[in-house]
C-alpha cells in the first residue's frame, strides 16, 4: 500500500518497472490451472469462420469443444458428407493456427443432437 505522499516508481514494482502484458499473465494462469487446451479449443470455436472460410462457415459452425473434440453442426446431410470427406483438410487448416493443435478430432452433428441449431 502506498503512503499518502509516496509515489509509485519502478522500485516499487516487482517486474522491474516494466508492465506485464495481460495475455502473458493470462497464459501462465491458464497453464497453471491446466486450462490451456480448453481455452485453445474454444478459440477454434470462436474463430471458426476465419479458419475455414466463409463458404464452409455459412453451412457449418463449430459449436463446442471438449477434450480434444471439436463439434461442428451442419445444416444438412449433404454438407455433413462433404465435411466428413474433407476432415483431414479441415484439421490441417485448424492445426495451422497455434491454438488449433488442441483439436484432435472433428465430430459432425446435424440438427439438434444436444446442440442448438446452427445458422438460420
Over residues 47-60, the pLDDT tens digits come to 999 999 999 999 99
**pLDDT confidence band for 34 (50 / 70 / 90):** low
Least confident of 76-80, 82-86, 104-108: 76-80
Question: What is the spatial distance between Cα 29 and Cα 22, in angstroms, rounded to a whole number?
Answer: 10
Mean of the per-residue pLDDT values of the chain: 78
Residue 25 belongs to domain spanning:
19-110
Question: Does residue 4 form part of some domain?
Answer: no
Q: What is the CATH number of the domain that holds 65?
A: 3.30.300
Question: Does residue 117 form part of some domain?
Answer: no
Query: Number of structural domains, the chain?
Result: 1
Question: Does residue 26 form part of some domain?
Answer: yes
**pLDDT confidence band for 99 (50 / 70 / 90):** confident
Question: Does residue 57 form part of some domain?
Answer: yes
Amino acid at each position: 500500500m502506498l503512503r499518502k505522499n509516496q509515489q509509485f516508481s519502478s522500485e516499487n514494482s516487482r517486474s522491474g518497472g516494466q508492465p506485464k502484458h495481460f495475455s502473458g499473465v493470462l497464459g501462465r494462469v491458464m497453464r497453471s490451472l491446466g486450462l490451456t487446451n480448453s481455452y485453445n479449443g474454444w478459440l477454434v470455436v470462436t474463430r471458426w469462420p476465419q479458419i475455414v472460410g466463409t463458404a464452409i462457415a455459412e453451412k457449418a459452425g463449430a459449436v463446442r469443444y471438449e477434450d480434444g473434440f471439436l463439434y461442428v453442426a451442419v445444416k444438412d446431410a449433404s454438407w455433413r458428407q462433404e465435411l466428413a470427406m474433407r476432415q483431414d483438410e479441415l484439421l490441417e487448416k485448424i492445426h495451422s493456427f497455434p491454438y488449433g493443435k488442441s483439436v484432435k478430432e472433428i465430430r459432425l452433428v446435424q440438427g439438434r443432437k444436444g446442440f442448438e441449431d446452427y445458422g438460420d
